[in-house]
Amino acid sequence: MSRKRLALLLTLLYALGIGVLSHIPGLQTPRTLPWSDKLLHALLYAGFGTCLLLSVSAHRPHWKRWQLWGTVLLLGALYAATDEWHQRFVPGRIPDATDWAADVVGLTASLLLSRLWLPWWIRTLR
């Protein structure tokens, strides 16, 4: 399997995993800390942002960083918004704009951390 297909498959599976978690009725995160829910959102979407970046950069290795980052932020933020909207229809789940904001923070963190490995990844694709 090529890296492009593998990166796309990983991204789709990660998105599916997020969707499955959002579809569990009444799923609650542990409330050990007041911000633990937001931290979990950020960590989950940092992983999703990494998958998105791998996939987008594999399909567009010649794009500039701002194009890659903009695409990942747009796709990730839209997916996070649809995920929150979807929760309106799941019993015991409530859509929350602050959850969406935590998702975007996680996406952004993944992009900032990508500066460490993205140049290597793109070199291997060329």
Query: pLDDT confidence of 124, banded at 50, 70, 90?
Result: low
Instruction: Name the more confident of 110 and 116.
Output: 110
Q: CA angle, corner 26, sides to 20 and 28, nearest 5?
A: 90
What are the residue ranges spanned by the domains of the chain?
3-23+37-125
Closest among 92, 73, 90 to 28, alpha carbons compared: 92
E strand or H helix at 110, and its extent?
helix 97-114
Q: What is the largest CA-CA distance in the chain?
A: 48
pLDDT digits (tens, 9 = 90+) for 14-50: 999 999 998 888 766 666 666 678 999 999 999 999 9
Encode burial over 66-76: b for 16+ CB neighbours within 10 A, e otherwise. eebbebbbebb
| pLDDT for res 33 | 61
Query: pLDDT confidence of 104, banded at 50, 70, 90?
Result: very high
Q: What is the mean pLDDT of residues 67-84?
A: 97
| pLDDT for res 36 | 79
